[in-house]
Structures are given as structure tokens and as C-alpha cells.
Chain A
Amino acid sequence: MKGSQILLESLKREGVEVIFGYPGGSVLPIFDALYDFKIKFILTRHEQGAAHAADGYARATGKVGVCLATSGPGATNLVTGIANAYMDSIPMVAITGQVGTHLIGNDAFQEADVTGITRSITKHNFLVKDVKDLARTIAEAFYIASSGRPGPVLIDIPVDVQRAETDFIWPESINIRSYQPTYFGHPGQIKKAAKLISQAKKPIIYAGGGVITSGANLVLRKLAEMIKAPVTTTFMGLGGFPGTHKLSLGMLGMHGTAYANHATMEADLIIAVGARFDDRVTGRLDHFAPYAKVIHIDIDPSSISKNIRVDIPIVGDAKNIIGELLKEIKNVSDTSLWLKTIDAWKRKHPLTYKGTGKLLKPQYILEQLWDLTKGDAIICTEVGQSQMWACQWYNHLEPRSWISSGGLGTMGFGFPAAMGAKIGVPGKEVFNIAGDGSIQMNIQELATCVANKINVKVLIFNNGFLGMVRQWQELFYKKRYSYTPITSPDFVKLAQSYGAVGIRVTKKNDVRKALQKAIKTDKTVFVEFIIEPEENVWPMVPAGQAINNMIDGIA
């Protein structure tokens, strides 16, 4: 069998349903094999779109996303998408063509040292120099990408290896001696954690993306209800605990709710589950949660004690560990006073906005979207203000229904990611919440959507600004709006020219109707909302401040 056929046969064995990609000179043999191979292939209009689509597919389904590009520029165009998946621990396999083995290192046409370039943004990468290694390498790549703390793995395949022939031998099992992720927590540590939990008067559960990855949402809910602890989620953890639950505090951190931040700062115990205390969460580190003991459950030992001191580290899979913890907790202390304090914060500092003016408010649009979908949709976002409003003003109920670029903060992620999500979960309505800046970063994927009938609904919050940067300029740079005003094409005409549907909304009264129409329309839809140009995201913790030091422009 040829290398190219071995690749496709191996992908089939791994259960791959769809490949997102773009052809080119160094992947011609693979594309020739694809011509009559039964696997879905989505031709994006840019390799970056392919990488983000694979990422969005992986987030929506929990399966490994696969993207494919040619050598040189094809591969370098994947780089942002790979880095994005790496920062958010998304399982992905990126396959790149490479110039022939005899040309590597010779500055050949369309050559780039892709394993070198991606070394620090992949969980692992491979250069396959012998076709005999190909099947095993692919099996190892999928195993590495999807196990432990997931992440992207890149396989670079020189064009002559794609053409070379060998017997197809599929490895029965994969065992890598140097890679043995820990799934089960240390029983002694779990016992200690259980003891600490039963003594805590002001516990808080701080849940991150690890809850989604390990499928720990239901046991997490059991734990919260059992010990009567409020739950705040990170950005990546949205959907890991229902936003409508009475113990939910929503998101914490820079644009988190005031009550989540106050509760975190006042807590006597933080139970961190699959979260990494990133700087957008902790704010000023030496002021963070001064009264709290910390239990940190994480599959990645390098996340533990990286930013904050941890009292009880437990390395392993969140679902397993919480399951064990539920068995170990013998008695529970009374947290009713604590919950009352939190309720008072909730009443005193609710999320709010001024909805009286003539101009459309983005928060209102999201409230309407929530009301129409009741959480039964996949919400993807771009990056910036629109993204933060989507965190705050939509209740995230279920895992894998919130798809957004967290760690890397990649503008242009949301639209192709929404495509990937829709292909992975065709039965669900998929929205992309976008700004007028971000949507222009991968807008070419409109063609991909229309050509493949990927009917995602893109809601563009057009404020004529790169809004989040403008907000920082307003607050910290004396309103010197340096290159943040931005022009856009006529999004309605643009959508139409691609064969999609375009709707423009300027009045509050038309918001609901437009959303309803978008949902009903069985096509790719762009809905452009002309919103208040200088609306801000509140509350906000200025960078480097303690997280209870919030500013709020509404009060």
C-alpha cells in the first residue's frame, strides 16, 4: 500500500469522520488517494480555517479533529490554529506535507521546518522519514492527542514517503514507555482533601476546562450539591456547571461576575478542578484568595503550584477523582451562612447594563438569543468584547456547547470553529458571536459554508471599533483611539454575494424577529447588529489588580 493510502486507512481506523484541509504540491499523493476514498473532506478557503474548524469539531464532539495542509505556506498557515488548540488543550491531529526527504534542509520550494516551528505549540510532533513508520506514527499521534491532557499533534510527511509502498500493519495497541498519563488520584491525597472539605465553612468550587475534557460535569454537580458549595467556572469551564443552577456564580476573573470574584477572595477553601489559575483569573497573584486553602485537581502535574501555592495537589482525571472524593466525604459542614453572604453579593452586584438608549445593546441581543434557544445551541465566539458579553449574558448549561478561544485569544477563530462544530453536531443550531473586527479575519470561510451547506448563524455585533482594545484605550490610555476605529464591508451584501443570507438589524424591536428568521433559515446566515459604538464590558478588573478590585461603569 502507498504511504498516502496508509494515511487514509489509518485515519479510518481511528474513526475519523471528516478532514478539514487544503491541497498543494507536497500533498498531491494524499489528495489523489482522497479522490476515491470514503471520508468526508471539507475544502476550506484558508488553511487557518481548516485548523480552527478541526479545533471547533473537536470541542463540540470530544473527538480528535483532523486538518491537512501542504508544506511551507500551507503548514505555516496552520500554525495559529495549532497554537490555539495547544493553549486550550484540544485534541487535534494536523497533517502536513513536506518536501521530499532528499530535499529537506535545502531551501526547497515551499519548504519550511514545520516540526521545528511547531515544537513549542504542539503536545508532540513527528517527521516521518520512512513509510514503514507511518501507520504506527499515526496511531501514536491520535493516542497522544486524545489522552492525558489533550493537545495538538503534528505529523509531517515528506512527499516521497506518501508515494513509497509498504505493507499496511496497524498496531493493535499503543504503549509509549515515556508517556504514561496519570488518571487515578492518590488515595491518601483524596482522603486529605475530603477531610479539608468537611471542615470548610466557606468553600468554593473553581471549575475549568478539565471538567469538560474529562466529562466530570455530572459528578461535579453532585459534589457541589452534596457539600453545598457555590461553583464558579473559568472561561474554559463554561458549560461544565449549569449557569442557571442556584449554586452557580458564573465566570470569575477579569470580566467575571462580582459575586464570583468576591466569593473567591473570601473563601476558606478553593476546590480547583481542571483549572490552571491563569492570570486572567487570579489578577494580582499575591492578593489572590488570601484566606483559602487550595485543593487542586488536575491531570497535568505542571499546572500544579505553577502560579499559586497549593495545599493538596491531586494529579489525575477530574471525573475519577471527584467520584472517589464523593465516597470519601463523610460529613459536611453547614455552609448556609456562606451561601447567604453570596446571595447578598448577587443582589448587590448583579450583572447589569443600561438598556434605555436608542442604540442596540449587545447584552440585549444575547438575552434574546438565550430566550429563544434556552441553552439548546452551540455558542461559538470570536475574541474581544463580543466574546466577553457571550460569557456573561448567555447561560451556558451543557459541556461542549461553548466554543471559544481562551488561552490564545485568537481573532478569526469563531467562524471556522462554528463550521467544524456544525459538521460534528449537525442536529444543533450553531451560532458564532462575532465583532466587526474578528469576523473579517477569516471571512473567506463563507464560501466553505455555502459550498458545503454548513448552516451556521453568525451574529455580528458591529460597533465600528476593535472594541476591547478601544475599551482599554478609553480606560487606560486617555481615550486615544489609536487605530481601533475600523471600517467594514456591507455585511448583508457580502453574505449575499457568497450565496448566504444577510440581515441587518438597527432597532431593538427587530432583534427577536431577526434571530427567529436566522434560526428558521436553512442557510448560512449573517445577522449584522449595529450596536452602541462605545459600550463597555463590565465589570472589569484592571490588569494586575486583585480580583475584588473591580471597576464598573454602570453604577
Chain B
Amino acid sequence: MKHTISVLVENKFGVLARVAGLFSARGYNIASLAVSETLDPTISYMTIVVEAQDEKILEQINKQLNKLIDVITVTDFTKKEHIDRELILAKINYTQKDKEKLGLIFSKYVGKIIHLKDDFAIIEAVGDGEQIKSLLEELSKFGVKELVKTGKLAISK
């Protein structure tokens, strides 16, 4: 099962390696990771998505995260009411005749064209994991030349 864990840490060098090390040492792959400064520039916020084969190991990782000196708080969002979002930037094949088709898609999703050339467009879109997944399926009909995706961000309700 996929877990979304948020970790509030001291904004210091080496912290990401300490956090990532706890996962890698147990052979756990981090599915996605988002890190940035908070309003308080001495604190950073990490959102980590990890696939846990064994809940007990994940509980241990959570405790070990808490044990790291630079970690302030750890929250596992999996059992908490929360909202999560991902952002994508995609370069898709696009010409003027596709305008209506894409417009229809964007009526269902939060997204827009942010850069336009003769034969392609760069679009941005935001949504939760499911929305992004189905949006990507629709976009694949145009032909996706390039895709970048942020890690998941999560906030409690």
C-alpha cells in the first residue's frame, strides 16, 4: 500500500540524505519526494510517497524518522483526512486544429497552455494522483513528447 508521509525538518545540508537513508537502508524505494522551505526559512517540508510491503517496517521507519535529530515532526497522511496534489508540465503535439479538443479536456481538469509553438504546446496541470493519471491518458492521444511531474504534496484537512 502507498503511504504519504510528511516530514518537517531543519533546513540544513545533509538532512535529505539522512531521511532518504532510512528508506534505502531497508531496501525501500521512494516513489516520489517533494522538498521545499516553509514560511519559516529554517524549516523545510518533505512529502514522501513510499510503497510499503510491510506495515511494521513502515512503522519502524516512522519511528526512526522521528529519532533523527533534525526531524521536527512526522505525519503519515494515509490514515488522516488530507488533500494531495501533483503538478505536471507536459510538452504535447499540438496545432491550432486541436484547440477545441484540448479545451474540452481542460474543462474537466485544472490545466492550461503556458507556452505555444507551431507544432507543440507546453501545458501545466494540477490534480490528485487519479486526476493526473486520467489526464495523462487523455493527453496521450495528442502524443506526449516530454513530461515532468512533481512529487505529491499533501496537507491535512
| A residues adjacent to B (C-beta < 8 A) | 115-116, 119-120, 123-124, 127, 144, 176-179, 300-302, 305-306
Query: Is B140 among interface residues, defined by CB-CB distance under 8 A?
Result: no
> CA A177 – CA B12 in complex, angstroms?
14
Query: B69 contacts which chain A residues (CB < 8 A)?
Result: 123-124, 144, 176, 178-179
Nearest A-chain residue to B72, judged by Cβ: A178
> CA A176 – CA B70 in complex, angstroms?
9
Query: A176 contacts which chain B residues (CB < 8 A)?
Result: 69
Find out whether the CB atom of A120 lies under 8 angstroms from the CB atom of B67: no
Given contacts A119-B21, A177-B72, A178-B69, 5 further A-B contacts (CB under 8 A): A116-B17, A119-B14, A120-B25, A179-B69, A306-B60
Query: B133 contacts which chain A residues (CB < 8 A)?
Result: none
> CA A144 – CA B67 in complex, angstroms?
12
Can you list 20 A-B contacts (CB < 8 A)? A116-B17, A119-B14, A119-B17, A119-B18, A119-B21, A124-B68, A124-B70, A127-B13, A144-B69, A177-B72, A178-B10, A178-B72, A179-B69, A300-B67, A301-B63, A301-B67, A302-B60, A302-B63, A302-B67, A306-B60
> CA A22 – CA B120 in complex, angstroms?
64
B28 CB to closest chain A CB (Å) equals 14
> CA A240 – CA B64 in complex, angstroms?
27
Among A177, A302, A306, residue most surrounded by chain B Cβ atoms (within 10 Å):
A302
Query: A301 contacts which chain B residues (CB < 8 A)?
Result: 63, 66-67
* Residue of A115, A177, A178 touching B14 (CB-CB under 8 A): A115
* Residue of A120, A124, A144, A179 touching B21 (CB-CB under 8 A): A120
The 8 A CB mask of B2-19 against A (1 = contact, 0 = none) is 000000011001100110
Query: A302 contacts which chain B residues (CB < 8 A)?
Result: 60, 63-64, 66-67
A116 CB to closest chain B CB (Å) equals 7
Closest CB pairs A-B (n = 8): A302-B63, A124-B69, A178-B72, A179-B69, A302-B67, A302-B64, A301-B63, A119-B21
Find out whether the CB atom of B71 lies under 8 angstroms from the CB atom of A178: yes
Nearest B-chain residue to A144, judged by Cβ: B69
Nearest B-chain residue to A176, judged by Cβ: B69
B63 CB to closest chain A CB (Å) equals 4
> CA A169 – CA B101 in complex, angstroms?
67
B18 CB to closest chain A CB (Å) equals 6
Query: B60 contacts which chain A residues (CB < 8 A)?
Result: 302, 306
Query: B14 contacts which chain A residues (CB < 8 A)?
Result: 115, 119, 127
B136 CB to closest chain A CB (Å) equals 37
> CA A177 – CA B8 in complex, angstroms?
12
> CA A144 – CA B13 in complex, angstroms?
18
Nearest B-chain residue to A125, judged by Cβ: B14
> CA A123 – CA B9 in complex, angstroms?
16
Nearest B-chain residue to A129, judged by Cβ: B13
> CA A198 – CA B16 in complex, angstroms?
47
> CA A144 – CA B64 in complex, angstroms?
16
* Residue of A127, A178, A305 touching B70 (CB-CB under 8 A): A178
Nearest B-chain residue to A181, judged by Cβ: B67
Query: A116 contacts which chain B residues (CB < 8 A)?
Result: 17
> CA A127 – CA B15 in complex, angstroms?
12
> CA A124 – CA B18 in complex, angstroms?
9
> CA A176 – CA B68 in complex, angstroms?
12
B41 CB to closest chain A CB (Å) equals 15
> CA A305 – CA B55 in complex, angstroms?
12
Query: B68 contacts which chain A residues (CB < 8 A)?
Result: 124
> CA A301 – CA B74 in complex, angstroms?
14
Nearest B-chain residue to A302, judged by Cβ: B63
Nearest B-chain residue to A300, judged by Cβ: B67
> CA A378 – CA B57 in complex, angstroms?
39
Query: B66 contacts which chain A residues (CB < 8 A)?
Result: 301-302
Nearest A-chain residue to B65, judged by Cβ: A302
B145 CB to closest chain A CB (Å) equals 36
The 8 A CB mask of B105-138 against A (1 = contact, 0 = none) is 0000000000000000000000000000000000
B6 CB to closest chain A CB (Å) equals 15
> CA A176 – CA B10 in complex, angstroms?
10
Query: B25 contacts which chain A residues (CB < 8 A)?
Result: 120
> CA A124 – CA B63 in complex, angstroms?
16
A147 CB to closest chain B CB (Å) equals 11
A303 CB to closest chain B CB (Å) equals 9
The 8 A CB mask of B39-80 against A (1 = contact, 0 = none) is 000000000000000000001100110111111100000000
> CA A305 – CA B25 in complex, angstroms?
20
> CA A301 – CA B63 in complex, angstroms?
7
A463 CB to closest chain B CB (Å) equals 37
Among B9, B17, B64, B67, residue most surrounded by chain A Cβ atoms (within 10 Å):
B67
Query: B67 contacts which chain A residues (CB < 8 A)?
Result: 300-302
Nearest A-chain residue to B14, judged by Cβ: A115
The 8 A CB mask of B74-114 against A (1 = contact, 0 = none) is 00000000000000000000000000000000000000000
B9 CB to closest chain A CB (Å) equals 8
> CA A123 – CA B18 in complex, angstroms?
11
A179 CB to closest chain B CB (Å) equals 5
Among B9, B63, B70, residue most surrounded by chain A Cβ atoms (within 10 Å):
B63
A88 CB to closest chain B CB (Å) equals 16
B13 CB to closest chain A CB (Å) equals 8
> CA A123 – CA B68 in complex, angstroms?
8
Nearest A-chain residue to B42, judged by Cβ: A177
> CA A127 – CA B70 in complex, angstroms?
14
> CA A115 – CA B21 in complex, angstroms?
13
Query: A177 contacts which chain B residues (CB < 8 A)?
Result: 72
B73 CB to closest chain A CB (Å) equals 8
Among A116, A123, A178, A302, residue most surrounded by chain B Cβ atoms (within 10 Å):
A178
Query: A120 contacts which chain B residues (CB < 8 A)?
Result: 21, 25
Query: B21 contacts which chain A residues (CB < 8 A)?
Result: 119-120
Nearest B-chain residue to A148, judged by Cβ: B67
Query: A124 contacts which chain B residues (CB < 8 A)?
Result: 68-70
A397 CB to closest chain B CB (Å) equals 33
Nearest A-chain residue to B71, judged by Cβ: A178
A308 CB to closest chain B CB (Å) equals 11
> CA A444 – CA B10 in complex, angstroms?
43
B59 CB to closest chain A CB (Å) equals 8
Nearest B-chain residue to A153, judged by Cβ: B69
